[in-house]
């Protein structure tokens, strides 16, 4: 198709503002899907997405719209809204020329609305504001249009009013896309250049590559080179998403689609790579994507040590479709062999864990999430650590630097005092306060990343009755008064339970950890001390009493010295068992401590 009749766009919004529902109505109104096959949130085809009501993976679909007698190809990429999947949004925007900024007409501009809008502005996209849910009785379209102008600097006077649920105004949105979003600027006659923006693994067909063609044409039977990987493959099948894969034989400049080439090795495909013809002229690679910045790290261990290789294969498969995931092998004295994984946030971590358990049938133990710290050595050099076990003794380094995040919190005005108090309790530093409208305020704080992943979001939601929303981005690393909290069971360090925390919080967290362990570790034939320590100082202790056996039960009368002799013998035996005996820490004890943040 002529690039003049192609429009590539994305839908960006805060979570639960109706992106997937608007995509459904577009598919229905343009006749891409007949009513017999239609269902709610059609593009959210992952079980986890449908259960949670959120979009996790970006989806692509080609629809056709007729305006003024001319047929236009609209390539839609539906994106996630949660802050943890920002990388998915960023990837999708590079394959587009325009974006629909969807805002709930009753809830207004939220924290993630602002963040996604700035991503689109940085990508130089044409942004079309759209007010959704205007059919609700408490919709405030005029006020929300003013919020868009105040918080984003976009012209809200011409914002399109729609109801994605009923379909009202959706045809006008399709017309606006044709009129306002620029056509792709690619040259159909130039050598092939295409961007890989996603990929999925199919056990029967190998790796399916999602691509956006910038210049030239990709056709079946051609030999295609992946520029950074240096691999060459024959394009066996090329097509578009309607929304299922629809074979077309070729994709021209400006089009979005897929190609299949029996690629079996996961390392052969890199998201962000440039595709070109193997025997064609040398072309300049496309910019690709910046590497994902991991905010949170956690270790995954299989409960059955024999599943280690299966876990490696499962993580490799997930990384293909989730390029923000990173992992490296790690060992633990208590938990055996596993992998340290990097995530964009806590929800990202939770989704990866559930996908591993569901899609790959693995039973896992996950360690407490932690952030990246930097150690400043005595000679001034720095190095990063991703787990408490990597932290050296205090005399081996000068200081610890912790990551600081710039947090934007959008709340109703009546909750300002409560949110400020929570931010101060979590070591937040006030930056600014802005009124988006008469009733809504955006508060900005600099808060240590470790505090955010601990319980900040839970407290924000509960204190604002669910109306508070937040977005954060990594700002810098700053020196902090941090210590390593060690957990000792029977005087032996358990590395999997250690953590890094602020000095003022060490006593409280140590006591909480020890109390949970005491409930979960069964009694042994000898007394088991549980201790929390900072450096060489014990800050909390609990004792699991020994199982008592009445060794004097067989003594019927006689001299008392017989009983005393038996009791002394038992006491000596218990002392010896305590010095050489091993304490059995069940998996549920690890889960009790690691699986709960409170």
Which H helix or E strand runs over 151?
Answer: helix 141-152
> Which of 573, 533, 519 has the alpha carbon at shortest distance from 551?
573
Give CA separation, 297 vs 341, 375, 454, 545, in Å: 6, 17, 13, 36
DSSP state of 564: H
Q: Where do we find the tokens 């925390």?
A: 501
Q: Where do we find the tokens 């910045």?
A: 293
**Residue 472: partners with Cβ closer than 8 Å, 6 or more residues away:** 83, 405, 406, 407, 408, 447, 449, 452
Q: Which two tokens stand for residue 356?
A: 């591993």
18 is in an annotated binding site: yes
**Residue 431: partners with Cβ closer than 8 Å, 6 or more residues away:** 406, 444, 445, 446
Which H helix or E strand runs over 277?
Answer: strand 274-277
DSSP state of 453: I
CB 1 within 8 A of CB 252: yes
Dihedral angle of Cα 36, 39, 45, 51, to the nearest 10 degrees:
-150
Give the relative orientation of helices 111-122 and 86-93 as an angle to the nearest 10 degrees: 30
132 is in an annotated binding site: yes
Give the angle subtended at the CA of 41 by the CAs of 126 and 64, to the nearest 5°.
Answer: 50
57 is in an annotated binding site: no
166 is in an annotated binding site: no
Residue 83, classed as helix, strand or coil, is: helix
537 strand-pairing partners? 534
Measured in degrees and rounded to the nearest 5, phi and psi for residue 358 equal -85, -55
Measured in degrees and rounded to the nearest 5, phi and psi for residue 447 equal -130, 140
CB 348 within 8 A of CB 273: no
| Residue set of the binding site | 16-21, 132-135
Cite the annotated binding site for GTP by residue number. 16-21, 132-135
């Amino acid at each position: 198709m002529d690039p003049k009749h192609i429009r590539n766009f994305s839908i960006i919004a805060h979570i639960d503002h109706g992106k997937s529902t608007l995509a459904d109505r577009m598919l229905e109104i343009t006749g891409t899907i007949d009513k017999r096959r239609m269902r709610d949130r059609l593009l959210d085809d992952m079980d986890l997405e449908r259960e949670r009501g959120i979009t996790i993976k970006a989806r692509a679909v080609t629809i056709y719209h007729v305006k003024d007698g001319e047929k236009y190809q609209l390539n839609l990429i539906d994106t996630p809204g949660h802050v943890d999947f920002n990388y998915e949004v960023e990837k999708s925007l590079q394959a587009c020329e325009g974006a629909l900024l969807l805002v709930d007409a009753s809830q207004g501009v939220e924290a993630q609305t602002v963040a996604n809008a700035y991503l689109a502005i940085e990508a130089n996209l044409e942004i079309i504001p759209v007010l959704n849910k205007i059919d609700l009785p408490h919709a405030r379209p005029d006020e929300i249009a003013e919020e868009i102008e105040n918080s984003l600097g976009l012209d809200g006077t011409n914002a399109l009013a729609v109801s994605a649920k009923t379909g009202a105004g959706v045809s006008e949105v399709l017309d606006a896309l044709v009129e306002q979003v620029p056509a792709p600027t690619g040259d159909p006659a130039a050598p092939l250049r295409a961007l890989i923006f996603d990929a999925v693994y199919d056990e029967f067909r190998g790796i399916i590559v999602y691509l956006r063609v910038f210049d030239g044409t990709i056709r079946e039977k051609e030999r295609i080179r992946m520029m950074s990987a240096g691999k060459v493959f024959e394009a066996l099948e090329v097509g578009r998403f309607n929304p299922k894969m629809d074979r077309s034989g070729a994709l021209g400049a400006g089009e979005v689609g897929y190609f299949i080439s029996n690629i079996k090795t996961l390392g052969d495909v890199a998201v962000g790579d440039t595709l070109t013809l193997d025997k064609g002229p040398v072309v300049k690679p496309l910019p690709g994507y910046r590497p994902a910045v991991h905010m949170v790290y956690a270790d995954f261990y299989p409960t059955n040590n024999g599943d280690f290789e299966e876990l490696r294969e499962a993580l490799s498969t997930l990384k293909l479709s989730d390029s923000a995931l990173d992992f490296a092998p790690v060992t633990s004295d208590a938990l055996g062999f596993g992998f340290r994984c990097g995530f964009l946030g806590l929800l990202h971590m939770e989704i990866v864990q559930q996908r591993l358990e569901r899609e790959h049938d693995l039973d896992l133990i996950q360690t407490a999430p932690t952030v990246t710290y930097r150690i400043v050595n005595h000679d001034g050099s720095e190095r990063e650590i991703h787990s408490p076990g990597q932290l050296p003794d205090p005399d081996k380094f000068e200081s610890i630097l912790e990551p600081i995040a710039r947090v934007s919190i959008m709340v109703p005005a009546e909750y300002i005092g409560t949110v400020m108090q929570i931010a101060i309790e979590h070591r937040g530093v006030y930056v600014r306060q802005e009124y988006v409208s008469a009733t809504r305020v955006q508060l900005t704080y600099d808060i240590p990343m470790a505090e955010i992943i601990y319980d900040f979001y839970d407290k924000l939601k509960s204190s604002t009755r669910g109306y508070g929303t937040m977005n954060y981005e990594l700002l810098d690393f700053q020196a902090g008064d941090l210590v390593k909290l060690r957990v000792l069971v029977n005087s032996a360090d358990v590395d999997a339970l250690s953590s890094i925390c602020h000095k003022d919080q060490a006593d409280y967290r140590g006591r909480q950890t020890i109390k949970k362990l005491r409930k979960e570790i069964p009694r042994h034939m000898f007394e088991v001390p549980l201790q929390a320590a900072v450096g060489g100082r014990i800050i909390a202790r609990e004792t699991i009493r020994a199982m008592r056996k009445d060794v004097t039960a067989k003594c019927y009368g006689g001299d008392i010295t017989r009983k005393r002799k038996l009791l002394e013998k038992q006491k000596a035996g218990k002392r010896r068992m305590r010095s050489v005996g091993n304490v059995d820490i069940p998996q549920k004890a690890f889960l009790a401590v690691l699986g709960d943040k409170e």
